[in-house]
Chain A
């Protein structure tokens, strides 16, 4: 048994890093256990000629395909959207597009405004200072003043428009539709020890330049310098509780596979919307037979993914292909509810600049637009370097039947039961996706595109894992309270995307981290009576 720590954080990804850094100023003994290790940018795909091939193997966004020792399997057979993530110091910020919108103020009040789902127990204003702090820490680029997005103050200018951006902007202007440079966590100038972006071209599977912000190169160096201990290759099996129903520590497997017990006065879970319910359900005990912190029965329920409706085509002019970060512009034209569209809530759009030659060939062959035989070369030259994409991030409303449970058979390499995902796309989401595809087709036709193809949903698009341990003031209708503390276990906190009440129609990482900083701040303000 190891000496107890004051605070034990499980997971060193987006939210775990932020909460560790924020709590470090308390000078408490803070330990983070992370199942993955430190990344080595010299091994990132863009350093090799076979960079695209790696996306189909060890650098796949799917843990089931990737199958690294740090990964755990996920049974998502019963879901049209497959889970994607990354397990390492930095978590899925190592492998994301760096698109950086925030939830809108209206996203926190969907019941009041639209009569669906539930309002959040906090509002946008409560998070504003933490959004700002997080943007400084992560290092954002963008153009302040978007009339249809919350006001942000990115410390760096927006990404270049490039060839694709100009085509997108002209087409959107012809249609009279909103577009704006995306806020991103891609450094467009040297920033806090990070070199500026040099357009390696595929931000998602890690950035060898270090221009894309991931928490292994942003929060963690600061947190460690401030005294936080980070133990890698440590996979937590369960959270234990004492005779008073308080969390007493965790059982984990260390880098040598040896079972260890670590005592802690406070436990913070930062394992994302699949990993967190998995851990809570695996922590069932005599006192908590349905899983820890689950008196509401809602642990694992209300999983929200953001179904992506993607449509793309090929223009005559050259686009940026793989010579630029994949996303650069967004649109909020259809973000808010307009019931005349036939659905409630809405979606954000992220435009896609293009693809590399291998990806283009593989996908186009699968879509049937790239033939075998003599004509292959002519058609490939028409497609390659001419792609333009429109991806709608549709707000997924919470539904209890969309859920994470424990698979009765599947286990990870330590024998810990793996998560099972059951998920269906709602009728409201389907209507939203159809609307988005129709608008996307108008956009592409206005841009002069042909050979239009659709991915709806993007099957390997389960990037955003939300809602499975929702926050709220009512212990019967939520898992954690309005400042992230479990209703049932008063020294247990959750800070990741699982506490989202609704999903909004944007990439969630900015909001996840703002929430983590907000919860850390609430904890710091209540240190004297944290467990009352």
Chain B
């Protein structure tokens, strides 16, 4: 079964709609929303072990909404989302999947000023710092509690 087929069309539509509610696109920060096609494709392709819980969360969402989420008016959609957020592990997994795919998108990381790469092998540079900050600690001194 392909990754796309792990969720039904209705589930995929609702996933896109709830993702846009979590993180909408922003002109101000020049970033896409979490409903962006590339980010959605990443979610679907990498659901893996989360598929079952995400599908359960989307089924729960569908029950709460009673209709495709995108077709609800804004007030009703917000009310459904509020209720959905309270609904435990499956909902938390769905939100986490949205966030983990969104915050590894090249455009999003670029907007945050984060280099688009794996940490290894380049790593990062860390300033050694001013160790004279330790001088007050050294001056105060102290001693270990004695053991008999």
Which residues of A are at the interface with B, using a C-beta cutoff of 8 A?
44, 46-53, 56-57, 104-106, 108-109, 112-113, 123-124, 143, 145, 147-150, 159-163, 165-166, 169-170, 172-173, 176, 178-181, 197-202, 208-209, 320, 322-324, 335-337, 357-358, 361-362, 365-366, 372-374, 376-377, 381, 384-385
Within 8 Å CB of A57, what residues of B?
48-50
What separation, in Å, do the CA atoms of A91 and B89 have in the docked complex? 29
What separation, in Å, do the CA atoms of A165 and B81 have in the docked complex? 40
Q: Is the CB of A198 within 8 A of B137?
A: no
What separation, in Å, do the CA atoms of A161 and B126 have in the docked complex? 8
Q: Is the CB of A199 within 8 A of B124?
A: yes
Stretch in B4-12, B54-62, B63-71, B96-104 with 4+ CB within 8 Å of A? B96-104
Q: Is the CB of A202 within 8 A of B119?
A: yes
What separation, in Å, do the CA atoms of A35 and B100 have in the docked complex? 32
Q: Is the CB of B145 within 8 A of A113?
A: yes
Within 8 A of A (CB), among B89-135: 92, 95-96, 99-104, 109, 112, 114, 116-131, 133-134
Q: Taking the complex as formed, is B2 at the interface, i.e. its CB lies under 8 A from any CB of chain A? A: no
- A129: min CB distance to chain B, Å: 17
Within 8 Å CB of A160, what residues of B?
126-129
Q: Is the CB of B117 within 8 A of A52?
A: no
Q: Is the CB of A374 within 8 A of B24?
A: yes
Within 8 Å CB of A324, what residues of B?
124, 126
Which residues of B are at the interface with A, using a C-beta cutoff of 8 A?
21-24, 26, 28-29, 31, 46, 48-50, 81, 85, 92, 95-96, 99-104, 109, 112, 114, 116-131, 133-134, 136-138, 140-148
Q: Is the CB of B119 within 8 A of A322?
A: yes
- B38: min CB distance to chain A, Å: 14
Q: Is the CB of A320 within 8 A of B126?
A: yes
Given contacts A148-B142, A358-B104, A374-B24, contact A365 B99 (CB under 8 A): yes
Closest Cβ neighbor of A149 among chain B residues: B144
Within 8 Å CB of A123, what residues of B?
147
Secondary structure of the A contact surface, majority rule: loop
Closest Cβ neighbor of B21 among chain A residues: A372
Given contacts A108-B147, A166-B129, A376-B24, contact A147 B138 (CB under 8 A): yes
Within 8 Å CB of A178, what residues of B?
137, 140, 142
Closest Cβ neighbor of A384 among chain B residues: B112
Q: CB < 8 Å: which of A113, A362, A385 contacts B148?
A: A113
What separation, in Å, do the CA atoms of A191 and B92 have in the docked complex? 43
Q: Is the CB of A323 within 8 A of B126?
A: yes
What separation, in Å, do the CA atoms of A109 and B101 have in the docked complex? 51
- B83: min CB distance to chain A, Å: 13
Q: Is the CB of B147 within 8 A of A109?
A: yes
Q: Is the CB of B92 within 8 A of A209?
A: no
What separation, in Å, do the CA atoms of A524 and B134 have in the docked complex? 43
**6 additional A-B residue pairs with CB within 8 Å, beyond A56-B50, A143-B134, A322-B119:** A108-B147, A162-B127, A199-B126, A209-B123, A357-B109, A377-B23
